[in-house]
Structure 1
Amino acid sequence: MRPPDLLALFDRLPEGWSEVTHAGGSWGVSRVVRVGGRQQSVYAEELGGTRVVSANLYLTASGPLLKPCEMPAEVVLEFLVGWV
């Protein structure tokens, strides 16, 4: 199985705040790009719910590095792949 293109998954989200749909619910999601694009963060909250997704992406010399915030990487990847 090929690893996900982390940069492409982050780039799907517009910078700033957006409302998206994921897993049958509405989510508010923020994407912030820093350091000329070498560091990005995503923070999403289920609107009217309790679920949260949060992660940072670092573009290093050895490739993209995903750092989820207190959650498994699978949760972050499921959100990044599945939102509409």
Structure 2
Amino acid sequence: MANPGNVARGLKGAISNPNNSEEAKQRAQDRFNDMEARGEVDSAEAHAGQVERGHKAAISNPRNSAEAKQDSQQVLEDMDF
């Protein structure tokens, strides 16, 4: 089964694609709205995951300064990660 997040991103792309017909855009919008109503789309949770991964990457990046790594570590601690 497809990941709901991936499906939602594809539907958003279809909605904003100027090459798609209005009918196709409406079908995509309807399906996206249905997913949202069922709670399958949780952008806040997805955003938190992206923030976490970004800060973990910043900590392990040897090109980042010690100060930047400390800032990222603090953000992760504040997020309880």
What TM-score does the superposition give when structure 1 sets the normalisation length? 0.25
Identify the structure with the greater strand proportion.
1
Could you say which structure has the larger radius of gyration?
A: 2
User: Which structure dedicates a bigger proportion of its chain to helix?
Assistant: 2
TM (normalized to structure 2)? 0.26
RCO comparison, higher one (Cα < 8 Å, 6+): 1
